[in-house]
């Protein structure tokens, strides 16, 4: 039993058998209770006189014994039910059926009077007691039935200790007899219907299991294809239940994985390209120096060239590591409370020599309410420093000498807005939606001085990891404004 299909069918069949057995038991028990109630309503019970005894002779005998015959009879009659009669009393004569008596018994019933009371004497060829007399005050339905020749009544008797002339007689209607062994019938009934139940359960179980397992099988095959690398595959299974939600989640996961892998491939390819070109030029320069005699001045120039290229490669590797760190999935930055104004001031100070070299003016505008109570954000101070360092470096590279760079810090709804602006060349509209892509550069310049096209991509990753966002507005010839929003935390 290895497949889910066989397990579900087996479980279904076992469940059906249990349910059928319980239903039979409950049904039999309810039928027994109904029969008991009906039988009790139609049951008649009272004294019967045998061996020529009469009510008067029995009363005299009881008096001589120091007993009250009425109290004695009341104690023997009260509390009996149809089931107790069936279990404790004896059958008076052969069982009767709707068509008569099974052994041909002939019953005659004759009226007689005992002390002005209406009594009847019943004689039957197979009676265990001989002639039996009983009154119509106890047995009106029985007397009526036998007088009319209707075989619906069955008589039972119980002896009275110490008295030979009197017995307790109970008359039951055979149409409403309770089945006192109802519990013993359940196994037989279950066995009788077992073949039909088993066939029905297997067929229904197969159909229901097929409907249940078939979608799971399809989704399993689809998941196996994804695991094998077929990320372009999509399942067409649709449903409004949990399986439909699972199918939708698998499709979304495949789309995200494919996008991630495509980005990774492009990232690796671009990184390899960025590293290959400088290494090729370094190899050419070193090969030339080894094969040709050069002056000391030429060798010095070669060392300076190699030093620049090594520095450039170091910068690229650091940027790649920073990008990878910022892209780590499932990891949040260190949960430190950081004074964002202090970070921006420190980063700006580090660029002071560059501003002076290019005659650039840096203006930092802080909202008045933030000057006394600096805003705090939760995150990693090194990554946030890299975020603003890259934005300021980008502004410097794209702003001509004597230009202006501005940083504006303001409050927004539950957050902080930082704008980094410049008066540089601006960005054409067709580049704005790609500006945060890895290795994307507006110009075709691939010199180390122009950067590697990773700075803004790193900025976006860092902002996202800190629960924020970064956008850009730009007008060609006038400059650009990069806007970062970050969530605030209390100090």
| Mean of pLDDT values over 94-121 | 60
Tell me, yes or no, whether 227 lies in a domain.
no
The tens digit of pLDDT for each residue in 38-83 reads 888 889 999 999 988 988 899 999 999 889 988 999 999 998 988 8
Helix (H, G, I), strand (E, B) or coil at 486: strand
User: How confident is the model at residue 403, as a pLDDT?
Assistant: 92
Q: Which domain holds residue 284?
A: 242-312
| Mean of pLDDT values over 86-104 | 65
pLDDT category at 331 given cuts 50, 70, 90 is very low
**Number of domains present in the structure of the chain:** 3
pLDDT category at 318 given cuts 50, 70, 90 is low
Question: Using CA atoms, how far apart are residues 123 and 126, in angstroms rounded to an integer?
Answer: 9
Domain's final residue, options 284, 312, 340 = 312
> Which tokens hold the place of 108?
């005659």
Lowest mean pLDDT among 124-128, 256-260, 375-379: 124-128
Helix (H, G, I), strand (E, B) or coil at 133: strand
CATH number, domain with residue 271: 1.10.287
Closest Cα to residue 267, out of 435, 439, 432? 439
User: How confident is the model at residue 190, as a pLDDT?
Assistant: 64
Could you tell me if 289 and 352 lie in one domain?
no
Tell me, yes or no, whether 281 lies in a domain.
yes
Question: Using CA atoms, how far apart are residues 396 and 388, in angstroms rounded to an integer?
Answer: 12
User: How confident is the model at residue 381, as a pLDDT?
Assistant: 86
The tens digit of pLDDT for each residue in 399-415 reads 999 999 999 999 888 78
Helix (H) or strand (E) holding 136: none
Q: How many CB atoms lie within 10 A of CB 472?
A: 16
Residue 320 bridge partners (DSSP): none
Q: How many CB atoms lie within 10 A of CB 464?
A: 13
Q: Above 50 in pLDDT, residue 99?
A: no
Lowest mean pLDDT among 187-191, 294-298, 425-429, 454-458: 187-191
Rounded alpha-carbon distances, angstroms, from residue 366 to 350, 372, 482: 19, 10, 16
Could you tell me if 299 and 343 lie in one domain?
no
Domain's final residue, options 180, 197, 218 = 180
Tell me, yes or no, whether 373 lies in a domain.
yes
Instruction: State the DSSP string of 358-398.
Output: TT-EEEEEE-HHHHHS--EEEE-HHHHHHHHHHHHHHHHHT
Place of tokens 């101070």: 381
User: How confident is the model at residue 117, as a pLDDT?
Assistant: 66
Domain's final residue, options 312, 339, 364 = 312
User: How confident is the model at residue 10, as a pLDDT?
Assistant: 73
Question: Using CA atoms, how far apart are residues 459 and 486, in angstroms rounded to an integer?
Answer: 13
The tens digit of pLDDT for each residue in 118-139 reads 888 888 777 778 888 888 889 9
> Which tokens hold the place of 395?
């502004």
- Sign, CA dihedral 71-77-79-84, equals positive
Lowest mean pLDDT among 77-91, 308-322, 469-483: 308-322
Could you tell me if 477 and 336 lie in one domain?
yes
174, 152 Cβ separation under 8 angstroms:
yes
Could you tell me if 302 and 446 lie in one domain?
no
Could you tell me if 417 and 278 lie in one domain?
no
pTM of the prediction? 0.45
140 vs 11: which has the higher pLDDT? 140
CATH number, domain with residue 417: 3.30.565.10
Q: What percent of the chain has pLDDT over 70?
A: 75
Closest Cα to residue 468, out of 402, 396, 399, 375? 375
Angle between helices 381-397 and 296-326 (to 10 degrees): 130
User: How confident is the model at residue 448, as a pLDDT?
Assistant: 47
Tell me, yes or no, whether 396 lies in a domain.
yes
User: How confident is the model at residue 464, as a pLDDT?
Assistant: 86
Question: Using CA atoms, how far apart are residues 408 and 367, in angstroms rounded to an integer?
Answer: 8
Residue 166 bridge partners (DSSP): 49
User: How confident is the model at residue 97, as a pLDDT?
Assistant: 47
> Which tokens hold the place of 92?
């008076």
> Which tokens hold the place of 485?
């929003």
pLDDT category at 151 given cuts 50, 70, 90 is confident
Q: What percent of the chain has pLDDT over 90?
A: 18
Closest Cα to residue 389, out of 344, 336, 447? 344
Q: What share of the chain is helix, strand, coil (3-state, %, to 5)?
A: 55, 20, 30
Tell me, yes or no, whether 249 lies in a domain.
yes
Could you tell me if 294 and 343 lie in one domain?
no
Question: Using CA atoms, how far apart are residues 60 and 46, in angstroms rounded to an integer?
Answer: 19
User: How confident is the model at residue 171, as a pLDDT?
Assistant: 92
The tens digit of pLDDT for each residue in 426-481 reads 888 888 888 887 666 666 444 444 555 677 888 888 888 888 999 999 989 899 99
> Which tokens hold the place of 418?
């930082």
Could you tell me if 267 and 350 lie in one domain?
no
Question: Using CA atoms, how far apart are residues 180 and 191, in angstroms rounded to an integer?
Answer: 20
Helix (H, G, I), strand (E, B) or coil at 343: helix
Could you tell me if 280 and 336 lie in one domain?
no
Could you tell me if 398 and 282 lie in one domain?
no
Instruction: State the DSSP string of 142-203.
Output: HHHHHHTT-TTEEEEEEE-TT-SSEEEEEEEEGGG---TTHHHHHHHHHHHHHHHHHHHHHH
**Which residues contact residue 154 at a Cβ distance below 8 angstroms, ignoring those fewer than 6 apart?**
91, 95, 96, 171, 172, 173, 174, 177
Could you tell me if 308 and 355 lie in one domain?
no
Q: What mean pLDDT is reported for the chain?
A: 78
Tell me, yes or no, whether 235 lies in a domain.
no
**Which residues contact residue 70 at a Cβ distance below 8 angstroms, ignoring those fewer than 6 apart?**
none
The tens digit of pLDDT for each residue in 334-372 reads 567 889 999 999 988 888 888 888 899 999 999 888 888
Could you tell me if 126 and 174 lie in one domain?
yes
Longest CA pairwise span in the chain (Å):
160
Question: Using CA atoms, how far apart are residues 285 and 292, in angstroms rounded to an integer?
Answer: 11
Question: Using CA atoms, how far apart are residues 384 and 11, in angstroms rounded to an integer?
Answer: 59
Tell me, yes or no, whether 210 lies in a domain.
no
Tell me, yes or no, whether 220 lies in a domain.
no
User: How confident is the model at residue 78, as a pLDDT?
Assistant: 92
User: How confident is the model at residue 303, as a pLDDT?
Assistant: 79
377 vs 222: which has the higher pLDDT? 377
Q: Above 50 in pLDDT, residue 1?
A: no
Could you tell me if 49 and 171 lie in one domain?
yes
């Amino acid at each position: 039993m290895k497949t889910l299909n066989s397990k579900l069918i087996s479980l279904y069949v076992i469940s059906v058998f249990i349910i059928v057995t319980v239903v039979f038991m409950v049904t039999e028990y309810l039928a027994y209770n109904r029969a008991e109630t009906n039988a009790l309503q139609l049951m008649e019970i009272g004294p019967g006189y045998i061996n020529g005894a009469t009510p008067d002779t029995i009363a005299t005998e009881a008096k001589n014994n120091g007993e009250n015959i009425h109290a004695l009879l009341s104690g023997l009659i009260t509390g009996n039910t149809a089931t107790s009669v069936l279990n404790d009393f004896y059958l008076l004569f052969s069982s009767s059926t709707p068509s008569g008596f099974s052994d041909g018994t002939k019953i005659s019933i004759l009226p007689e009077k005992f002390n002005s009371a209406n009594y009847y004497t019943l004689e039957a060829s197979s009676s265990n007691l001989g002639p039996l007399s009983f009154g119509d005050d106890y047995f009106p339905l029985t007397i009526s039935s036998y007088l009319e020749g209707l075989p619906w009544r069955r008589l039972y008797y119980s002896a009275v200790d110490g008295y030979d002339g009197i017995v307790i007689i109970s008359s039951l209607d055979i149409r409403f007899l309770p089945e006192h062994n109802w519990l013993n019938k359940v196994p037989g009934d279950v066995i009788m219907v077992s073949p039909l139940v088993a066939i029905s359960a297997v067929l229904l179980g197969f159909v229901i299991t097929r409907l249940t397992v078939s979608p799971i099988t399809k989704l399993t095959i689809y998941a196996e294809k994804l695991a094998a690398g077929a990320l372009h595959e999509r399942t067409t299974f649709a449903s409004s239940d949990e399986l439909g939600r699972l199918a939708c989640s698998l499709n979304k996961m495949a789309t995200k994985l494919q996008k991630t892998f495509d980005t990774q491939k492009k990232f690796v390819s671009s990184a390899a390209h960025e590293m290959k070109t400088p290494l090729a030029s370094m190899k050419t320069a070193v090969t030339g120096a080894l094969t040709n005699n050069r002056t000391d001045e030429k060798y010095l120039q070669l060392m300076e060239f190699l030093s620049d290229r090594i520095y450039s490669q170091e910068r690229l590797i650091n940027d790649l590591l920073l990008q990878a760190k910022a892209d780590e999935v499932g990891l949040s930055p260190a949960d430190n409370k950081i004074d964002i104004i202090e970070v921006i001031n420190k980063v700006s100070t580090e660029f002071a020599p560059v501003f002076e070299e290019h005659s650039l003016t840096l203006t930092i505008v802080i909202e008045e309410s933030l000057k006394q109570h600096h805003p705090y954000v939760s995150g990693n101070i090194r990554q946030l420093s890299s975020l603003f360092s890259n934005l300021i470096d980008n502004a410097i590279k794209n702003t001509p000498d004597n230009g202006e760079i501005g940083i504006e810090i303001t409050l927004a709804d539950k957050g902080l807005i930082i704008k980094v602006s410049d008066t540089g060349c601006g960005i054409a509209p067709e580049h704005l939606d790609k500006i945060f892509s890895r290795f994307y550069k507006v110009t075709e310049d691939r010199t180390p001085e122009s950067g590697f096209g990773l700075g803004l991509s790193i900025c976006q990753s860092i902002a996202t990891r800190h629960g924020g966002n970064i956008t850009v507005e730009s007008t060609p010839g006038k400059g650009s404004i990069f806007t970062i929003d970050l969530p605030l935390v209390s100090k």
